[in-house]
Structure 1
Amino acid sequence: MNLMRAKEIKDDPNTKDVVYNGKYIYINDVDDERQKAVIHYLKESGREFEVDVTNLKEE
């Protein structure tokens, strides 16, 4: 995924299907300069972590 699309998904009020390592995730924040996204798995609450935006896939 590219940075611009990750930001669009984060700001969209409608949930999009985004996958990281085979699991559905929610994008909490996007860091433009570092091209990282702060995400959490949808089925696991409370655990946020940072990944490269390019590792996210939209289904």
Structure 2
Amino acid sequence: MNKQRAQEIASSPVMANVTYNGVPIYIQHVDETNEVARIYPIGQPDQEEDVSINSLTEH
């Protein structure tokens, strides 16, 4: 995924179908400078992590 699309998804009120390593995730924030996204698995907001934007897949 590119950083512009990740930012669009993060700021959109509509839930997008995005996965990280095959797991559906929610993008909480995008750091465009470092090209990382703050994510967590759907339904598990206590498992936040920063991952490379390139490792995210939109379906």
TMscore range, shorter length: over 0.9
Task: Report the structure, 1 or 2, having the larger helix content.
Answer: 2
Q: Deviations over 1:4-37 (max 9, x none)?
A: 0000000110000000011100000000110000
Q: Which residue of 1 aligns with 2:21?
A: 21
- For the residue of structure 1 that corresponds to 2:28, the secondary structure is strand
CA distance in 2 between counterparts of 1:55 and 1:30 reads 13
CA distance in 1 between counterparts of 2:37 and 2:45 reads 17
Report the identity percentage: 37
Q: Segments of 4+ in structure 1 off by > 2 A? A: none
Segments of 5+ residues of structure 1 without an aligned counterpart are none
Q: Which residue of 2 aligns with 1:12?
A: 12
Q: Which residue of 1 aligns with 2:39?
A: 39
Name the TM-score, length of structure 1 as normaliser. 0.95
CA distance in 1 between counterparts of 2:54 and 2:15 reads 19
Root mean square deviation, CA, Å: 0.8
* Number of corresponding residues: 59
Give the residue type in structure 2 aligned to 1:5: R
